[in-house]
């Protein structure tokens, strides 16, 4: 099975801000590069190509404790089920929402993952 990775557009690239190479993701999560790549295949992470080279992952997906932010993988599954592709999922996760406040990723990092997942589930209806 090959790794399917989307190309990213400029707007989404700017929304996300800081990116990590797959090698850096593996280092921060204390995993092998192969295991980090498997996280993308398993939709636990989103990896995209930014101008070629290896896939890159938003830095905001990695918590300060060296793990994935809580609630991310479940929300990615919900977004996929709602018909969102990787780029659309990134846009949704990083677009500020005054009612949260902040972006869904900001809410994850603040421990409000249940609210983010609830809102993602509402997208499917």
pLDDT confidence of residue 57: 95
pLDDT confidence of residue 19: 95
pLDDT confidence of residue 63: 93
In the chain, which stretches have pLDDT less than 70?
1-7, 125
- Any bridge partners for residue 49, and if so which? 7
* CB distance 37 to 43 below 8 Å: no
pLDDT confidence of residue 50: 82
Distance CA 95, CA 84 (A): 14
Pairing of strands 48-49, 19-21: unpaired
pLDDT confidence of residue 5: 61
**DSSP per-residue codes, 32-59:** -HHHHHHHHHTTSS--EESSSSS-EEEG
pLDDT confidence of residue 54: 82
pLDDT confidence of residue 125: 67
* CB distance 22 to 36 below 8 Å: yes
- Any bridge partners for residue 58, and if so which? 19
């Amino acid at each position: 099975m090959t790794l399917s990775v989307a190309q990213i557009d400029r707007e989404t690239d700017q929304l996300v801000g800081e990116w990590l190479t797959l090698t850096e993701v593996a280092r921060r999560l204390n995993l092998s590069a192969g295991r980090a790549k498997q996280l993308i295949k398993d939709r636990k992470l989103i990896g995209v190509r930014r101008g070629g080279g290896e896939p890159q992952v938003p830095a905001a997906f990695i918590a300060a404790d060296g793990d994935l932010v809580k609630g991310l993988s479940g929300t990615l599954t919900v977004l996929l089920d709602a018909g969102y592709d990787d780029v659309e999922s990134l846009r949704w996760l990083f677009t500020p929402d005054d009612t949260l406040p902040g972006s869904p990723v900001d809410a994850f990092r603040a421990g409000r993952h249940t609210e983010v997942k609830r809102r993602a589930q509402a997208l499917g209806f």
